[in-house]
């Protein structure tokens, strides 16, 4: 018998479902309601789990329960195990977009909500009118949302991923410098790096944090720019730039998508800057689900339409 089977011998794997509810809710009463047990039965289950793991798992902190370090370590593992068991014991079904009532959750950047989402919406309306779509903000932690099963896929700009996630590049993008039409530098076809650094900048920082690819590049050159304003969206940045002497460096597609709404001048970034890639990311447990495979294929095809329109 393998070590895995020995470890599971005598352990009721249904307890995983109870442990998952306890760690997710951090409440005996709420967990009991979630799985349809009495509060007393859930308390006894917590006692058995504590004995099995030789750890309290949940401890009282004031009026609530909080996870021990062992409980926090177990939480993502238990969540993934429960999701995997649900998939094992759920009968396999074929998927028909035309008749499906499925719902998909997709994490998108603000820019992709402006460019990719309308194309995706048209495709769903024509091919899968009963399918619902929930677009989630990229300000969430996309990788954590995928691991926890709260999102089906994410289209994001990311580097290396952990082994439990798959990715495929679906689009490439490039940056541009923008300024208002009345800006003193607006009559230039290009900027020097000195003019760029001397200007006052708007930074789009959804999480409020500085330091991105632009500032890392400048730092290597021993240069630093003034980030006079930080905002959470491309739209806010473009409105500020159009009405001031601020400048911003944004994905060119954001400016193209909003042309006609704000009057802006666009010039190239005054130093070599690699293009960026958008990755379609999903958890490996969803790899073979027919509905998920269809959804990812639709996303890939919609991304091709966006790129062909010059909006990537």
How many Cα atoms sit within 13 Å of 4 on the Cβ side? 1
User: What superfamily does domain 103-172+276-308 belong to in CATH?
Assistant: Periplasmic binding protein-like II (3.40.190.10)
User: Which two tokens mark 152?
Assistant: 């089906």
Q: Which residues pair with 165 in a beta bridge?
A: 283
Q: What is the pLDDT of residue 90?
A: 65
User: What superfamily does domain 175-267 belong to in CATH?
Assistant: Periplasmic binding protein-like II (3.40.190.10)
The residue ranges of every structural domain in the chain are 3-89, 103-172+276-308, 175-267
Sheet containing 175-180: order of strands = 226-231, 200-204, 246-251, 175-180, 264-267
Equal fold, 103-172+276-308 vs 175-267: yes
Query: Does the structure show a pLDDT above 60 at 10?
Result: no
Mean pLDDT, to the nearest integer, of 95-100? 93
User: Which two tokens mark 131?
Assistant: 């399918």
Do the Cβ atoms of 249 and 223 come closer than 8 Å? no
Q: What is the pLDDT of residue 7?
A: 52
pTM for the model stands at 0.67
The answer regarding whether domain 3-89 maps to CATH 3.40.640.10 reads no
> What would the pLDDT profile of 212-256 be if each residue is shown by its tens digit?
889 999 999 999 999 999 998 899 999 999 999 999 999 999 888
Provide the pLDDT confidence category of residue 4 given band limits of 50, 70 and 90. Answer: very low
Residues with Cβ < 8 Å from 41, sequence gap 6 or more? 32
Provide the pLDDT confidence category of residue 92 given band limits of 50, 70 and 90. Answer: low
């Amino acid at each position: 018998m393998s070590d895995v089977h020995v470890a599971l011998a005598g352990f009721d794997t249904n307890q995983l479902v109870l442990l998952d509810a306890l760690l997710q809710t951090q409440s005996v009463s709420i967990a009991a309601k979630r799985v349809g047990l009495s509060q007393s039965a859930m308390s006894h289950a917590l006692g058995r789990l504590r004995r099995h793991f030789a750890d309290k798992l949940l401890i009282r902190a004031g009026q609530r329960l909080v996870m021990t370090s062992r409980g926090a370590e177990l939480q993502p593992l238990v969540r993934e195990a429960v999701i995997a068991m649900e998939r094992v014991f759920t009968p396999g079904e074929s998927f028909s977009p035309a008749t499906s009532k499925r719902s998909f959750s997709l994490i998108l950047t603000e820019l992709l909500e402006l460019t990719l989402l309308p194309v995706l919406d048209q495709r769903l309306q024509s091919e899968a009118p009963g399918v619902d779509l929930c677009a989630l903000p990229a300000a969430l932690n996309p990788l954590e949302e995928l691991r926890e099963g709260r999102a089906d896929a994410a289209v994001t700009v990311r580097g290396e991923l952990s082994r439990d996630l798959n990715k495929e590049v679906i689009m490439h993008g490039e940056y541009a410098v923008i300024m208002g039409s009345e800006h003193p530098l607006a009559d230039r076809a290009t900027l020097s790096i000195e003019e760029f650094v001397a200007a006052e900048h708007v930074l789009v920082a959804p999480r409020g944090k500085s330091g991105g690819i632009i500032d890392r590049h400048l730092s290597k050159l021993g240069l630093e720019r003034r980030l006079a304003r930080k905002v959470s969206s491309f739209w806010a940045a473009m409105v500020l730039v159009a009405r001031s002497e601020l400048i911003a460096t944004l994905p060119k597609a954001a400016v193209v998508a909003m042309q006609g709404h704000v009057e802006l001048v666009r010039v190239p970034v005054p130093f070599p800057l690699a293009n960026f890639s958008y990755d379609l990311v999903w958890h490996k447990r969803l790899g073979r689900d027919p509905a998920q495979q269809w959804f990812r294929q639709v996303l890939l095809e919609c991304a091709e339409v966006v790129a062909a329109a010059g909006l990537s």
